[in-house]
């Protein structure tokens, strides 16, 4: 029997027992969510909020409260709740989902390994890249190229590849042989010394390969669009030119599509439309819209056939890999994305934000507004001319103001506010979010380091 607890009791229980990712010790409040429907969620006190964050963390593509997904989980649980995919075992839903993903992926991507999260997926991809070269007689290829501002997870390998220093702080030696490159961050022209962004980065990549030695590099990993870095899209020629350099030197390319895949930017896989031609694609989040923890590492036939065949087996594994309930939910989720046209809807949401945030772009504290499908980054500055970043605490105050006084969930990554709403976000919800953002940003008091009262 479930005992009913008040909002205060739930908050106190959480404070006593739960450690939260990124929870600051000076912020002791708890936001206990208990219900969701569409793009709205309710907390334990009964307050409703417009979820402009997709479950708070870039998921919920099909929105909250989808009966179809709950029914898929129930039906599969009653049929077969779990059985391993180790050795020669599998289950029907894992096999069906693998086939479905292969049909949606680029033509050369036909093999996959199921995970429970993006972090597991990145660790798996790094291992696969190294094993692939090892089994082909190039055991020296162990280096991984990553990028500053990139976010690839928080486990040992993925956390090292992440280009945010706090992820590697004070945990001892990190994964060796990981090199960070500059990101394609066109708004920060000062990073490139007046050069064309892509020209600068290709020169840096080439010099890095020469310094480390191509024969020592296994792969480069990158998000098609930098998500946690602030929704930063590269110039159109960036990924095709990166791919050309990597191919010339036999270096694999890992596309981290944990955020971008399954419609977030208006395509099944964003890497395809960016010209990445990746050898491996890491997915999670939108694969089930957050209804089940599930990810998948998709790989080329060359990798999928080389690693287990020459190595004897892929000596790797997670207990819940290919979990039948999670795979059943993923299949139902992909059906909804397809049948409801949510890839196109993502682009329409983006168009709505471009229009709705046009006035905000002119405000003195707004340096750049970046929209990629149903994903938005609003970079805040103290001065438009110098592009000095707004203090992160003041950007956090903007998010707090939207939460407490507008009932809208947003998030700041440093000085950048991000939006990643469900792909069922309506025109009215897009307009409401844009208007609220514009209203709050107009009240940012830089000198007072506060949000001025209404």
pLDDT tens for each residue of 227-275: 999 999 999 999 999 999 999 999 999 999 999 999 999 999 999 999 9
pLDDT greater than 80 at residue 30: yes
pLDDT confidence band for 437 (50 / 70 / 90): very high
pLDDT tens, position by position, 80-124 = 999 999 999 999 999 999 999 999 999 999 999 999 999 999 999
Look over the chain and give the mean of its residue pLDDT values, rounded to a whole number. Answer: 96
pLDDT greater than 70 at residue 376: yes
- pLDDT on residue 311: 64
Architecture of domain 7-60+341-451: Alpha-Beta Complex (3.90)
pLDDT greater than 70 at residue 1: no
Q: Can you give the three-state secondary structure of the chain, one letter per residue?
A: CCCCCCHHHHHHHHHHHCCCCCCCCCCCCCCCEEEEEECEEEECCCCEEEECCHHHHHCCCCCECCHHHHHHHHHHHHHCCCCCCCCCCCCHHHHHHHHHHHHHCCCCEEEEEEECCHHHHHHHHHHHHHHHHHHCCCCCCCEEEEECCCCCCCCHHHHHHCCCHHHHCCCCCCCCCEEEECCCCCCCHHHHCCCCHHHHHHHHHHHHHHHHCHHHEEEEEECCCECCCCCECCCCCHHHHHHHHHHHCCCEEEEECCCCCCCCCCCCCHHHHCCCCCCEEEECHHHCCCCCCCEEEEEEHHHHHHHHHHHCCCCCCCCCCCCHHHHHHHHHHHHHHHHCCHHHHHHHHHHHHHHHCHHHHCCCCEEEEEECCCCEEEEEEEECCCCEECCHHHHHHHHHHHHHHHCEECEEECCEEEECCCCCCCHHHHHHHHHHHHHHHCCEECCCCEECCC
- pLDDT on residue 449: 86
pLDDT greater than 90 at residue 312: no
The mean per-residue pLDDT over the stretch 196-224 comes to 98
Has this prediction a pTM greater than 0.85?
yes
User: Which percentage of the chain shows pLDDT scores above 70?
Assistant: 99
> So where are the chain's domains?
7-60+341-451, 69-340
Architecture of domain 69-340: 3-Layer(aba) Sandwich (3.40)
The mean per-residue pLDDT over the stretch 70-81 comes to 98
pLDDT confidence band for 309 (50 / 70 / 90): confident
CA gap 58, 264 in Å, rounded: 8
- pLDDT on residue 320: 96
pLDDT greater than 90 at residue 287: yes
């Amino acid at each position: 029997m479930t005992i009913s607890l008040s909002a205060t009791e739930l908050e106190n229980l959480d404070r006593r027992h739960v450690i939260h990712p990124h929870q600051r010790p000076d912020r002791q409040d708890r936001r206990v969510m208990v219900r969701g429907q569409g793009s709205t969620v309710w907390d334990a006190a009964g307050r409703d909020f417009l979820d402009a964050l997709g479950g708070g963390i870039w998921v919920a593509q099909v929105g909250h409260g989808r009966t179809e997904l709950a029914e898929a989980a129930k039906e599969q649980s009653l049929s077969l709740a779990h059985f391993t995919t180790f050795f020669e075992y599998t289950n029907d839903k894992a096999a069906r989902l693998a086939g479905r993903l292969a049909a949606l992926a680029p033509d050369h991507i036909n093999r996959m390994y199921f995970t429970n999260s993006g972090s597991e997926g990145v660790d798996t991809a790094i291992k696969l890249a190294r094993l692939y070269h090892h089994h082909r007689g190039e055991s020296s290829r162990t280096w991984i190229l990553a990028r500053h501002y990139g976010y690839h997870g928080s486990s040992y390998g993925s956390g090292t590849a992440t280009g945010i220093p706090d992820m590697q702080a004070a945990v001892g030696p990190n994964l060796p042989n990981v090199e960070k490159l500059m990101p394609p961050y066109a708004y920060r022209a000062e990073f490139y010394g007046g050069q064309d962004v892509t020209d600068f980065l290709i020169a840096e990549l080439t010099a890095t390969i020469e310094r480390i030695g191509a024969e020592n590099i296994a792969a480069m990993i990158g998000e098609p669009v930098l998500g946690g870095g602030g929704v930063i899209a590269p110039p159109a020629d960036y990924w095709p030119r990166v791919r050309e350099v990597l191919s010339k030197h036999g270096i694999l390319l890992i596309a981290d599509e944990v955020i971008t895949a399954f419609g977030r930017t208006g395509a099944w896989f964003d890497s395809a439309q960016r010209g990445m031609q990746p050898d491996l694609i890491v997915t999670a989040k939108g694969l089930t819209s957050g209804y089940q923890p599930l990810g998948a590492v998709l790989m080329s036939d060359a990798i999928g056939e080389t690693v287990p065949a020459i190595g004897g087996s892929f000596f790797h594994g997670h207990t819940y890999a290919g979990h039948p309930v999670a795979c059943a939910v993923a299949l139902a989720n992909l059906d909804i994305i397809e049948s409801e046209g949510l890839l196109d809807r993502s682009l329409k949401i983006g168009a709505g934000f471009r229009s709705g945030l046009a006035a905000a772009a002119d405000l003195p504290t707004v340096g750049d507004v970046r929209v990629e499908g149903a994903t938005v980054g609003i970079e805040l500055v103290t001065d438009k001319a110098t592009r000095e970043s707004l203090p992160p605490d003041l950007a956090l105050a903007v998010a707090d103001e939207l939460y407490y006084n507008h009932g809208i969930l947003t998030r700041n990554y440093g000085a950048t506010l991000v939006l990643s709403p469900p792909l069922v976000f309506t025109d009215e919800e897009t307009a409401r979010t844009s208007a609220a953002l514009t209203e709050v940003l107009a009240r940012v008091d830089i000198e007072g380091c506060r949000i001025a009262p209404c």
